[in-house]
Amino acid sequence: MKRIEGIAASEGYAIGKLHIYWEKAAMTVPEKAADPEWEINRFLQAREHACTEVGTVYHRAVARVGEHHSSIFKIHLALLQDQDFFIEIRDYIRGRGVTAETAVQEVGQRFFRMFEELDDDYMKARGADVKDIVSRLLHFLSEDKEEKAPLISEGILAAEELMPSQTIQIDTDRVQALLTRTGSRTSHSAILARSMRIPAITGLGRGFEQLEDGSEVIVDGFKGVVIQDPDEETLEFYRHMSEEYQKQQKALESYKGMKAVTMDGAVVQLCANISHPNDMDEVLDAGADGVGLFRTEFLFMYWGRLPTEKEQFDAYRRVVEQMQGKRVVIRTLDIGADKQIPYLKMEREENPVMGRRSIRFCLENQGLFTTQLRALLRAAQYGKLAILIPMVASVEEVIMVRELLKEAASQLEKEGVPFGRDYEFGVMIETPSAAVISDLLAPHVDFFSIGTNDLTQFTMAADRENPHVAALSDAQHPAVRRLIKTAVQNGLQNGLRVSVCGEAAADPVMTRYLLSIGVRELSVAPASLMEIRHIIQSIRIQ
Ligand code: PEP
Ligand code: MG
């Protein structure tokens, strides 16, 4: 019997057979190719995609900053199409029998060093361009790989890393629990696991290496412990615990449809976080006071291609109508970092968590963003809609979004397409900057929604995906609490609605704290609604 510890990411127990999914591990070592000619073909396809993309970027750049400042993209195109580069790649694949990824990385390194060693400063700088095209090529190659690698669909699934786009596709009727080497409690995959009610342990680190494919394991999602090859006594104990947990969950059902009111009469709006209209069954069943956060990026992942305005409108309308007049907060596309959408082909960045993600990406891709805004405005006719902007760091961004919203409304008006004018507009407070300038943001918006996951990550400088800094990723840290308090005070003083939609809202200790500083709106995963309602009912604020 072996006990392996990680981070408790999603509560629950599971007992079953372990299946290890090796996709990531295989990619970190030089990969041998089954068919070198096939790999050369894959390289050529990736190169074609990369050239098309660089061509588009070049034309966009010319329109924005002129021919002169855009010449860098011409250089990228020339490097991509360079015959020597292709010949080296081709020969490397044939000579060593490796995959296209390995060849691109190795040959890319060689070219990079060659430029770096030159005396001429201009030529030296071309090394960075090589890096750029290498990462672009790897991006297209990995996308092709993703399509080919199917996820295991039964038992207890263990993987080095699970992308949110993979987690969301897991069949919860067949997969009993998730285990990963990387990640923390606020990883997006962990958040999804909780909302899908599947036990999960992340951040197993080196313990991951002790897992044996095919062995019998117990997953304790409360303690973050995996027990491999358990003895009969331990098995018996966990069977009992699992039954008790089921009973407890049943008991919490008595809180269905109740109001979230503290013992001394403070009424709390207890809302739900969703990632797909299909989550609404559970939300309605629990009797949530509204949808406090609809993470639309998961919907974009689910579709597997860019959704049309009509498809988005139908999805948003469905949620708004189902809530029958209760408020629905829909957040615009919050992609980037771990939340990748392959078909959007976002450029690889050195530090994507702080890169061109979320609202930054949307403001640079106004066509795509305006389509979403139009769909939202159209859905606003059918109920009480609030539009929420993620990752805001400056007042200027808010002003730009408001301009685009105005523009979207005037387009719809001109086209004679009906839309709603009565909606709320708000921002996520999830960057330290937004919290610090929340007094300046307040006059431009109707509400704040505090995202404690990112706010904690950025305040503590602790990557929410990195298990080694998980202890620092603590929303209860005084630094994070100060920022939350600043935003709450600035919001309330300016007459705004202030809610908390990060995972801290569903942490009983934080729930108490948040209510004590004046928060009266919380939004949690549907799976936590009943427990938090129960907690609120047992709190006395005064
Ligand atoms: C947050 O950052 O707290 C949040 C709610 O957004 P997400 O978890 O989707 O990044
Ligand atoms: Mg966030």
- At 143 the pLDDT is 62
Three-state secondary structure string covering 428-440: EECCHHHHHCHHH
Q: Is 188 a catalytic residue?
A: yes
pTM of the model: 0.73
Best of 275, 430, 521 for a ligand 1 pocket test (most atoms within 8 Å of beta carbon): 430
CA 454 to ligand 1: nearest atom: 2
Q: Is 501 a catalytic residue?
A: yes
Distance CA 19, CA 17 (A): 7
- At 138 the pLDDT is 85
pLDDT band at residue 162 under the 50/70/90 scheme:
confident
Collect all residues with Cβ–Cβ distance below 8 Å to 114 and sequence separation of at least 6: none
- At 415 the pLDDT is 98
Higher confidence at residue 21 or residue 152?
21
Cα 86 versus chain centre, distance: 36
- At 314 the pLDDT is 96
Pinpoint the alpha helices (H) of 208-255: 232-252
- Tell me the ligand closest to 501's alpha carbon: 1
CB-based contact 14:199 (threshold 8 Å): yes
Cβ(430) – ligand 1 distance below 6 Å? yes
Condensed to tens digits (0 to 9), the pLDDT of residues 457-513 reads 999 999 998 888 989 999 999 999 999 999 999 999 999 999 999 999 999 999 999
> Pairing relation of β-strands 291-295 and 2-5?
unpaired
- At 28 the pLDDT is 40
Query: Would you call 527 helix, strand, or coil by DSSP?
Result: helix
Closest residue by Cα to atom 6, ligand 1, is 451
Over residues 57-71, the mean pLDDT reads 64
pLDDT band at residue 26 under the 50/70/90 scheme:
very low
Over residues 246-274, the mean pLDDT reads 94
Q: How many CA atoms lie within 13 A of 458 on its CB side?
A: 23
- At 132 the pLDDT is 74
Condensed to tens digits (0 to 9), the pLDDT of residues 344-377 reads 888 888 899 999 999 999 999 999 999 999 999 9
Among residues 76, 188, 271, 362, which one is catalytic?
188
Distance CA 469, CA 337 (A): 17
Higher confidence at residue 25 or residue 494?
494
Residue 64 clears pLDDT 60, i.e. is over it: no
Distance 55 CA to ligand 1 centre (A): 34
CB-based contact 154:21 (threshold 8 Å): no
Residue 225 β-bridge partners: 5, 220
CA 457 to ligand 1: nearest atom: 2
Condensed to tens digits (0 to 9), the pLDDT of residues 402-460 reads 999 999 999 999 999 999 999 999 999 999 999 999 999 999 999 999 999 999 999 99
- At 25 the pLDDT is 36
